[in-house]
A and B are shown apart, each in its own frame.
Chain A
């Protein structure tokens, strides 16, 4: 069973650019959530995808968008990058069931630096 993987590991962009981060879910999982972790802070929920549809969103502007593919891999896209977007971006996958008792398993993250 493979765990959650993310690519790239590190990324440097300049203000105003666009970035795409990728996540491969753990085998058998149908739900992916994205979190932003600024330096010295706890992770903040960005949004969640379930069966290719957005299934909840945190307090992030529309320039943060996502996709989930039929194989349950996922992308996080950020347009018009700002300096404050510099953070560790974490992807977490889980298996949504009627009981909702599964746990989110996190990937190693992508470190984004915006200059």
Chain B
């Protein structure tokens, strides 16, 4: 069985500050891990994915995430927040890219001017 836990349903950061969104997963098989962003009234846009290659994954818009097997974590970071980063972020786990995704409950990021 697979599951995802996103700690913090709401996160606020100042513009220019570090963004850290937490994701812990549970998986009985080597996981595929994803981060998606959702802007209001829109679908999901892929930020980045881990597919058992490099543990540090770089994505779009300056985001990156590090796969840590020992901590079963896949936290999302960005060195400097921008106002346009305000959105909802979802972490997902799967046993493969084309298999069903199990999503976390999401973290709403607010960026303060």
Contacts and interface: CB of A to CB of B under 8 A. Distances in A.
- Of the four ranges (under 10, 10 to 19, 20 to 34, 35 or more), the interface on chain B belongs to 20 to 34
Contacts of A41: 105-106
| Interface magnitude class on chain A | 20 to 34
Contacts of A108: 42-43
Q: Which are the 4 A-B pairs with shortest beta-carbon distances? A: A42-B103, A100-B96, A106-B44, A45-B100
A44 B101 CA distance: 8
B28 to A, nearest CB: 16
Interface string A89-115: 010101111001111111111010000
Contact of A58 (B34, B100, B106): B100
A36 to B, nearest CB: 11
Interface in B62-113: 90, 92, 96-106
